Amino acid sequence: MKLDSIQELRNQVMRNVIERLFRAPEGGEAVEIKGLAFSTIVQLMSNSMFSDDLLDPASGAMEELEMLNGNIMVLLGKPNFADYFPFLRLFDLQGIRREISKSYDRLHGLIDGIIDMRTERRRSSDGSDRVGDFLDVLLDYMEDEGPQGLTRLDIKLMITELFIGGTDSSTTT
């Protein structure tokens, strides 16, 4: 199974987490467990979905991803007058829909970049470097099924929802 084949990547992520926890006291560094848990989950998910660590845990991109995820979760849980008064839905008086849209657009931009890199790599190779991860399976299905299958937007939405749902429920736990 594919998950078994990337077990070493998952083990390496966990070794890095443990190493970071042990190094922190030596440098007088405080470890924020929430941030550590989030970056670990993102790394594990990216290994499973993309067979690669997409983001360095200490990078600005990881911080942006955490901020986007947190922002979306807060906005989704925020009480919205339009839920109680449907005629207000058109007006977005609280700006919740607009703010969620901004965060999703940025997240979709990051995922578009990942899909573009993979698509370009697939186009420029003879097929020997296909890793058979989640993204490859989705792209293969999109290519094989044509218009009746998945679209790029479907893939992007699927990855977004897996990411948002996976990181939120795991970090909360």
Instruction: Write down all domains in the chain, each with its CATH number in brackets.
Output: 1-172 (1.10.630.10)
Q: What distance in Å separates the CA atoms of residue 169 and residue 49, rounded to the nearest whole number?
A: 17
pLDDT tier, 3 (very low <50, low <70, confident <90, very high otherwise): low
DSSP string, 96-165: HHHHHHHHHHHHHHHHHHHHHHHHHHHHHS-STT----HHHHHHHHHHHHGGGS--HHHHHHHHHHHHHH
For the stretch 51-103, pLDDT in tens is 665 555 555 666 777 788 888 888 888 898 888 998 988 899 999 999 999 99
Quick one: tokens of 43? 């790394």
For the stretch 19-32, pLDDT in tens is 888 887 877 878 77
Taking the CA of residue 53 as centre, how many other CA atoms within 13 Å lie in the half-sphere pointing to its CB?
18
pTM: 0.68
Average confidence (pLDDT) over 102-128 = 84
For the stretch 129-146, pLDDT in tens is 666 778 888 888 888 877
* Residue 79 vs residue 148, higher pLDDT: 79
With a cut of 60, say whether residue 112 has pLDDT above it.
Answer: yes
pLDDT tier, 171 (very low <50, low <70, confident <90, very high otherwise): very low
| Beta carbons of 93 and 81 less than 8 angstroms apart | yes
In sequence order, what are the residues at sequence separation of 6 or more whose Cβ sits closer than 8 angstroms to the Cβ of residue 22? none
